[in-house]
Amino acid sequence: MAEVNLKIQVQALQPGWIEYETNKYRIYVNDDLITERTWIWNLNTVIEEDIWIEVPPYISHIVRLESVLDPKSIAQFGLRNFRVNNWPKPDWGGAKTQLSFIIE
């Protein structure tokens, strides 16, 4: 197993009134729930998650963002600025909810 540091930013993509709802997001690595947070900020806020995990090397691992929304909410969240052990990964502009990485 390898100890790995993941840094990833979570951003609300819509709607403009999101800070008035009680939406949440969850971050999973593979199928393990790492964190759940209530989004209480506006669209201009970006939260950086700093995650330490142990995973086997040489296989693909998945970081997944899952939204837990208020009924009737249209909120969307995205991931951006993903770094694995301080090495940047390609940035897809916050629209992705799932990213992968391999530790060598």
What is the predicted pLDDT for the residue at 74?
94
Please report, in angstroms and rounded to a whole number, the separation of the first and last CA atoms in the chain. 11
pLDDT of residue 95: 80
When pLDDT is cut at 50, 70 and 90, the band that residue 85 belongs to is very high
- How many other CB atoms sit within 10 Å of the CB of residue 77? 24
Q: Are strands 46-55 and 2-14 parallel, antiparallel or unpaired?
A: antiparallel
Range of the domain at 40: 2-102
**Structural domain count, the chain:** 1
pLDDT digits (tens, 9 = 90+) for 24-80: 999 999 999 999 999 999 999 999 999 999 999 999 999 999 999 989 999 999 999
Q: What is the pLDDT of residue 44?
A: 94
- CATH code at 47? 2.60.60
pLDDT value for 90: 83
pTM reported for the whole predicted model? 0.92
pLDDT at 91: 79
- Cβ neighbourhood burial of 3 (10 Å; 0-12, 13-18, 19+): exposed
If you search the block for the tokens 């100890």, which residue do you land on? 3
Across the range 70-98, mean pLDDT stands at: 90
